[in-house]
Amino acid sequence: MLDVKFNIRQVARTLSLVENRRPESHAILRAAYKAGRHVPVIGVTGPPGAGKSTLLDRLALHWAEQGEQVAVIAIDPSSPYTGGAVLGDRFRMDRASAHPRVFVRSLSSRGHVGGLSRAVQDVVVVMAAQGFERILVETVGSGQADVEVATLADCVIVVSVPGLGDQIQAGKAGILEIGDVYAVNKSDLPGAGTFAAFLEANLDLIYPGRPGVNQGGQRAGQERAYANAVLHRRHGNAGTDESFWRPPVVSVCALQGDSTEALCRVVEGFLSWQRATGRDGSRRAERFQDHIRRLASGRLLAQPLPAGAGPSLPQLADAVAQGEMTPWEAAEIFLDALSEAWLRREGTVADPVARSAED
């Protein structure tokens, strides 16, 4: 018998309040953050057409069939150009969304002044507090915003396919540094094997070891190839005696469901290794640091400068345009004026959650 814990209408209503930053959302967010419940968040990213929705459908179903309550957040890539018209076309989640333990929610990338990643972060925390046991986030591989959203996840699956011209671009844009697991989809198409080998070779340039968990204490030469501090933090350092993770490449055919179970096992393997080494906690801490930093800088920059506090932003911009100062010097002056104004400000912040929610 299926065990469905949720009143889906209620969940949907709560999320709408949070997304639309309604006054009621402050209490919901406060309670959700204070609940401090953490569940695995899996980010799926890759270029449009790579088969992310099709793959997500398989992954969500897999975990739902294991008995988990699964939430899927699909980022609607609405842009001023398409007006969101691509959305219907993108969602190929028919099977999973019909499953009583899968809840699919789309989130528009428009209108989030505080940044899309912040909106996703809030929705993730609210979903976790409501009792979902696993959250999948799908994003469209289209630049920095996407990378940001991907890094909100505990495990990032980068989906690519053979024959897309932008694969090399993706490599240049740092895609090879954001994945914990790489899925080569459409393994039924020609060129999939060659492309998977190409990805493996590129990962070999960055990581030593075999795909998956490796024992540390690797040779010095390999250590050098693996000198990226961010990757050390996330995946461990081959130069130490601790274990480290080398992202595996898994070839799948989402359309037929070939090897998608294997992909789920690899993701589980990564999450277990991450938990066992305490890296889940440090990754989360890094995420919240980033979140706090953004909130703090947003609040600081929104601070009105009182008359006489120093040159205004337009004046500073003018000075830079006239060649009177560099942007670094201008930023320094601006910061000095801001901190001066901040120190002199009167009154206290009655409800910081309410204040920041309105930013």
Return residues touching ligand GDP (CB under 6 A): 48-54, 90, 92, 185-186, 188-189, 253-255
Minimum Å gap between C-beta 59 and ligand GDP is 12
To ligand GDP, the closest distance from the beta carbon of 186 in angstroms equals 4
Q: CA-CA distances (angstroms) from residue 219 to 28, 129, 216, 229, 247? A: 51, 45, 9, 18, 19
**Measured at CB, which residue is nearest to ligand GDP?**
51
Question: From the CB of 174, what's the least distance to ligand GDP, in Å?
Answer: 19
Q: Coil, helix or strand for 135? A: strand
Pick 69 or 187: Cβ nearer ligand GDP? 187
Q: Where are the alpha helices (DSSP H) in the chain?
A: 8-19, 25-35, 52-65, 87-90, 94-98, 116-129, 144-150, 167-172, 175-178, 192-206, 220-225, 229-235, 260-276, 279-301, 313-321, 327-344, 352-358
CB 50 to ligand GDP: min, Å: 4
φ, ψ at 81 (rounded to 5°): -85, -40
Written as one string, the DSSP assignment of 232-266 is HHHH--TTSSS-EEE--EEE-BTTTTBTHHHHHHH
Closest contact distance (angstroms) between CB of 34 and ligand GDP is 35
Smallest gap from Cβ 142 to ligand GDP, in A, equals 11
Q: Which is nearer to ligand GDP, 137 or 253 (CB)?
A: 253
Decide whether 87 or 338 has the Cβ nearer to ligand GDP: 87
> Closest CB to ligand GDP among 139 and 243?
139
- Choose between 48 and 311: whose C-beta lies nearer to ligand GDP: 48
Q: Which CB, 255 or 325, lies closer to ligand GDP?
A: 255
Which of residues 30 and 92 has its CB atom nearest to ligand GDP in the complex?
92
Give the closest residue to 164 by CA, choosing from 205, 195, 139, 199. Answer: 195
DSSP 152-216: TSSEEEEEE-TT-TTHHHHHHTTHHHH-SEEEE--TTSTTHHHHHHHHHHHHHHH--S-SEEE-S
CA distance to 12, 20, 113, 123, 138, per residue, from 7 (Å): 9, 20, 30, 17, 23
Residue 163 CB, nearest approach to ligand GDP (Å): 11
- Cα separation, 248 vs 184, whole angstroms: 11
The distance of closest approach from Cβ of residue 108 to ligand GDP in the complex, given in angstroms and rounded to an integer, is: 16
**Closer CB to ligand GDP, residue 176 or residue 253?**
253
Cβ-based nearer residue to ligand GDP, 51 or 248: 51
Question: Smallest gap, in angstroms, from Cβ of residue 264 to ligand GDP?
Answer: 16
Can you read off the two tokens belonging to residue 180? Answer: 């914990």
Q: Residue 12: which residues within 8 A CB-CB, separation 6 or more?
A: 105
Burial of 283 (0-12, 13-18, 19+ CB in 10 A): middle
